[in-house]
Structure 1
Amino acid sequence: MQTPSQLHQSGLEFLRAYNQCFYDKDLVALKGLYSSTSFTVFWDNHPNCDSNTLDDHFEKLSTFFSKGKLTESGSVEPLLIEELQTRASSGMLLVTAILRYQSAPIPGVRSSFVLVEEDGRWKALHIHHSFDPNEPA
């Protein structure tokens, strides 16, 4: 059983690996971060990006990686991670954080990752991102 400090580190490592897949536009590595047996839904802070199945989600990500919004550098927008918190119960880990686009940090993106332990690793069961309505755009 992991200590609270270890769970926090596990949550941070998952989030960093998740973000790195976007920076690298690595769909294969990203697929390895999702539960293959228990995925429920992905809710995004951008229109028309929600998914109810993994196939739909990966199809949208594939399109984003090939045609998506690019920064001036030609890469996926770097994210700042703030207020990371973790809670664990019954083989699941909840990771919450405020993510901020480096070039436009306000409003922040409230993010929740529900992870399940599979094959000795934490994998996403559900992900939700929403712009913080309490911060002016």
Structure 2
Amino acid sequence: MGSDRTAYETVQDFLNEYNKCFYSKDIGALRSMYSSEAFAVFWDNHAGCDSHTLDDHFEKISTFLQEGRSTEGGEVEELIVEDKRIRTSSNFSLVTAILRYRSAPMPGVRSTFVLVREKGRWKAIHIHHSFDPNDIT
């Protein structure tokens, strides 16, 4: 895996766009960020939120955006991103980071994004979130 700066920047763009989709509650734009051909699985840090198909995943995301935790203003809470690491090759990228909710920063959420390049765009094929056991007391 290389350190191609252009690939790194485009992965960073993907992550910013991905979060923006949640913050703006734009399911259509979010769906376009996933690979429909190679999607594997989504594992979440909350019980009952794992998905093995895109349809199931977006049904759960829709429910979260309608009923899930939000700020007092009704918006999705922005995340603090720490220790982000991006590794890329020509058509594959692995991203790891610690995410924290601003209102409840502990425990952190260890996150992994596995991306493939399809038609010139990065697409998610697997995302995994789990609470950091090192932050749990």
TM-score over 0.5 (shorter chain)? yes
TM, length-normalised to structure 2:
0.92
Cα 1:51–1:64 change in 2 (3 A) is: same
CA distance in 2, matches of 1:133, 1:7: 31
SS of aligned partner of 2:134: coil
CA distance in 2, matches of 1:20, 1:90: 25
Equivalent residue runs for 1:83-102 within 5 Å: 83-89=83-89, 91-102=91-102
CA distance in 1, matches of 2:121, 2:113: 14
Q: Counterpart amino acid of 1:68?
A: G
Aligned twin of 1:109: 109
Aligned twin of 1:9: 9
CA distance in 2, matches of 1:86, 1:50: 24
1:8, 1:85 within 8 Å by CA — same for their partners in 2? no
Matching of residue 43 in structure 1 with residue 43 in structure 2: yes
2:3, 2:88 within 8 Å by CA — same for their partners in 1? no
Unaligned residue ranges in structure 1 (runs of 5+): none
CA distance in 2, matches of 1:87, 1:135: 25
Aligned twin of 1:61: 61
Aligned twin of 1:29: 29
Aligned length: 136
The root-mean-square deviation of aligned C-alpha atoms, in Å, is 1.6
2:7, 2:90 within 8 Å by CA — same for their partners in 1? no
After TM superposition, give the deviation of residue 73 of structure 1 in Å: 2.1
CA distance in 1, matches of 2:66, 2:75: 11
Range with greater deviation from structure 2 (120-129 or 87-96): 87-96
Unaligned residue ranges in structure 2 (runs of 5+): none
Q: Identity rate of aligned residues, in percent?
A: 60
